[in-house]
């Protein structure tokens, strides 16, 4: 359950700024159920929003200054929104600066405000705390400026903040689910066409349990961009082999990839094998979810993880220890790392009646193996970013 409420955030604003905020924005974090490292390959993803969130309590100003207070960090700073730029000593503000910058490009009004930011999405743990801040900032500027981008355009704006403003070659998944999530639904997204299907979470007697290794992701940005580059290398080799001009791994089948095995750098081949097989698993997982087939979904989650460990090589000792322990516990249908990897969280599909025991035993086993204290989060599928009514 979420710890934070909009009321608590509004009260904190009042203490900091002297009177009540005009409005409060909430943007959830997200957990990806399956479809990892597929989005920037124009493939499929199946995430849901979680009930941990970033809140922004906001009071409009009459100038173009953003006076922001990050309550979790206890840091304040000001930025002139008419010329938003990165600030190395307050990098948390870069997400807001990036959103303001992209709104200028779209010629939207970017108005000043006093804002208190407070959140309970664990930072750097694969639950998309950064996209949650971006989508909260976008909703705030929309409310202040009296305009509204559609779901796709809002998510794409957030992706440009990551790609162009911050230099991370990430895909569209995080911003899309955070912007467009419906309560009690997972979302199957085709990251090429942006066609999305909301899938009701009606798996009877099952609960998704998030397990945080509490290992902050290491080297994520550089390793992430490296993986993006390796996928591009695979596309080049495939294009050469089949005399095509495809842009993404999405354009190739498993058979085509296998036929190219000898003509491709082995690392690129393994990265591509993960991506192409993960798309197939993700579509199958969406069907299993619709059919209420927990056993099938769990198996797909396990094979996704194995592919991420061996072919994509984005797991780490802590994530593997967590998943190994989880799979041996009663009531666990499947377990996999979630998000970019190199630390962060796993997601587990667990029989609801076994959840209490699962959580206790998992946390004990994880600490016994690694010496680190982990944390479990049990969450409903939450609503996407917007004004708290």
Interface with ligand GLA (CB under 6 A), residue from 4, 33, 34, 40: 40
- Residue closer to ligand GLA by CB (options 143, 278) is 278
Minimum CB–partner distance for residue 259 and ligand GLA (Å): 26
Minimum CB–partner distance for residue 206 and ligand GLA (Å): 23
Is residue 114 within the footprint of ligand GLA (CB under 6 A)?
no
Is residue 165 within the footprint of ligand GLA (CB under 6 A)?
no
Short-list 71, 26, 72, CA closest to 51: 26
Catalytic entry in 51, 114, 174, 305: 174
> How do 23-34 and 196-200 pair as beta strands?
unpaired
Is residue 134 within the footprint of ligand GLA (CB under 6 A)?
no
- Residue closer to ligand GLA by CB (options 33, 140) is 33
Distance CA 207, CA 344 (A): 20
Q: Lay out the site mask for ligand GLA across 68-107 (x = CB under 6 A, - = otherwise).
A: ----------------------------------------
Please give the residues from 206 up to 235 whose contact with ligand GLA meets the rule CB under 6 A. none
Interface with ligand GLA (CB under 6 A), residue from 6, 27, 173, 321: 173
Interface with ligand GLA (CB under 6 A), residue from 51, 94, 114, 174: 174
- Residue closer to ligand GLA by CB (options 12, 282) is 282
Minimum CB–partner distance for residue 388 and ligand GLA (Å): 25
Q: How far is CA 276 from CA 231, 241, 246, in A?
A: 11, 17, 14
Interface with ligand GLA (CB under 6 A), residue from 334, 339, 374, 384: 339
**Cβ(143)–Cβ(170) under 8 Å?**
no
Is residue 311 within the footprint of ligand GLA (CB under 6 A)?
no
Beta strands in the chain (DSSP E): 23-34, 44-60, 65-70, 75-80, 113-119, 185-190, 196-200, 206-212, 332-337, 345-351, 375-378, 386-387
Radius of gyration of the chain (CA): 21
Distance CA 233, CA 122 (A): 34
Measure the CA angle with vertex 354, ends 351 and 358; round to 5°: 110
Phi, psi for 134 (deg, rounded to 5): -60, -45
- Determine whether 324 is an active site residue: no
Number of residues that bind ligand GLA (CB under 6 A): 12
Is residue 154 within the footprint of ligand GLA (CB under 6 A)?
no
Residue 275 burial class via C-beta count within 10 angstroms: exposed 0-12, middle 13-18, buried 19 and up: buried
3-state class of 339 per DSSP? coil
Residue ranges binding ligand GLA (CB under 6 A)? 32, 36-37, 39-40, 128, 170-171, 173-174, 339-340
């Amino acid at each position: 359950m979420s710890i934070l409420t909009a009321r608590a955030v509004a009260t904190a604003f009042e203490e900091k700024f002297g009177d009540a905020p005009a409005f409060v924005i909430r943007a959830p974090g997200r957990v990806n159920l399956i479809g990892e490292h597929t989005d920037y390959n124009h493939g499929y993803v199946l995430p849901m929003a979680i009930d941990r969130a970033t809140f922004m309590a906001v009071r409009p100003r009459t100038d173009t200054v953003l006076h922001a207070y990050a309550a979790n960090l206890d840091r304040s700073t000001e930025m002139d929104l008419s010329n938003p730029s990165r600030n190395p000593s307050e990098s948390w503000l870069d997400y807001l600066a990036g959103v303001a910058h992209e709104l200028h490009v779209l010629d939207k009004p970017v108005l000043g405000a006093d804002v208190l930011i407070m959140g309970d999405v664990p930072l750097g743990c694969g639950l998309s705390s950064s996209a949650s801040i971006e989508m909260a900032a976008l909703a705030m500027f929309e409310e202040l400026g009296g305009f509204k981008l559609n779901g796709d355009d809002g998510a794409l704006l957030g992706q440009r903040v990551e790609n162009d403003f911050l230099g991370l070659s990430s895909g569209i998944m995080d911003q899309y689910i955070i912007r467009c999530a419906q309560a009690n639904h997972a979302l199957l997204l085709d990251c090429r066409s942006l066609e999305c299907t909301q899938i009701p979470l009606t798996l009877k007697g099952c609960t998704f349990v998030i397990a945080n290794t509490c290992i902050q992701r290491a080297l994520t940005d550089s390793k992430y961009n490296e993986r993006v580059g390796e996928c591009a290398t695979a596309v080049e080799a495939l294009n050469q082999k089949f005399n095509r001009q495809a842009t993404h791994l999405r354009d190739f089948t498993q058979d085509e990839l296998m036929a190219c095995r000898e003509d491709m750098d082995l690392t690129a081949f393994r990265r591509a094998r993960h991506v192409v097989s993960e798309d197939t698993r993700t579509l199958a997982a969406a069907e299993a979810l619709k059919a209420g087939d927990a056993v099938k979904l769990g198996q797909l989650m396990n094979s996704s993880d194995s592919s991420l460990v061996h072919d994509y090589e984005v797991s780490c000792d802590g994530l593997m220890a967590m998943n190994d322990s989880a799979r041996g516990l009663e009531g666990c249908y499947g377990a996999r790392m979630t998000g970019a990897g190199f630390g962060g969280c796993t997601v587990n599909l667990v029989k609801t009646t076994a959840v209490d025991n699962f959580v206790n035993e998992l946390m004990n086993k994880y600490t016994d193996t690694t010496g680190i204290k982990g944390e479990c989060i049990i969450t409903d599928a939450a609503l996407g970013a917007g004004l708290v009514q």
